[in-house]
A and B are shown apart, each in its own frame.
Chain A
Amino acid sequence: QKEVEQDPGPLSVPEGAIVSLNCTYSNSAFQYFMWYRQYSRKGPELLMYTYSSGNKEDGRFTAQVDKSSKYISLFIRDSQPSDSATYLCAIFGSYGKLTFGQGTILTVHP
């Protein structure tokens, strides 16, 4: 079983739609959960992180963690064409080790 599973998509939505991106993980010991965004020909950039369970909101983005079901989500409200990118979930272990999901390719079309 992979440590982090993420549906690679691709996902295509119209501008203004609500986008839901999801990952599952296997190790219940993890406490930090991250979302990275990667534009074409660029490195990933940290979008949001959540510690333990609960929600975290930043503008149009909401990160959610449900530790009981080992499920992490990223919601994008009022999606824009500029949100088109690959979204990577990641979990943080010891010694700086980030374990990534495969990434979901998102396209928001005008």
Chain B
Amino acid sequence: ETGVTQTPRHLVMGMTNKKSLKCEQHLGHNAMYWYKQSAKKPLELMFVYSLEERVENNSVPSRFSPECPNSSHLFLHLHTLQPEDSALYLCASSQDAGYEQYFGPGTRLTVT
């Protein structure tokens, strides 16, 4: 595997379900990010982890819970989501929380 990988690529879940998105980076970076991309809206930063510490939480609802167990892996735990949470969730990584960020292909989430 190379670059940034994300699983699953597609996910359909009900509002009462609990699911997790997984991201893995193979670039040796020490910072990882979650972004949300909704139709007709700009890409929106959700969380930043640098050296496995959360350094930014962009006013994201508590139904989204990130976890960064090491510098290569990032999870986004989802529970009690709303239909408006349906979007493409993108993971990215960079060195030293810098501007050169590498994105994964995203998980297309549909909340029914």
Contacts and interface: CB of A to CB of B under 8 A. Distances in A.
Interface of A: 2, 4, 6, 8, 32, 34, 41-46, 49, 88, 90, 92, 95-103
Interface of B: 4, 31, 33, 40-45, 48, 50, 55-56, 58, 90, 92, 94, 97-106
B105 A43 contact: yes
Contacts of A98: 43, 45, 99, 101
A49 B99 contact: yes
Contacts of B56: 95-97
B42 A97 contact: no
B42 A43 contact: no
B41 A102 contact: yes
A88 B103 CA distance: 13
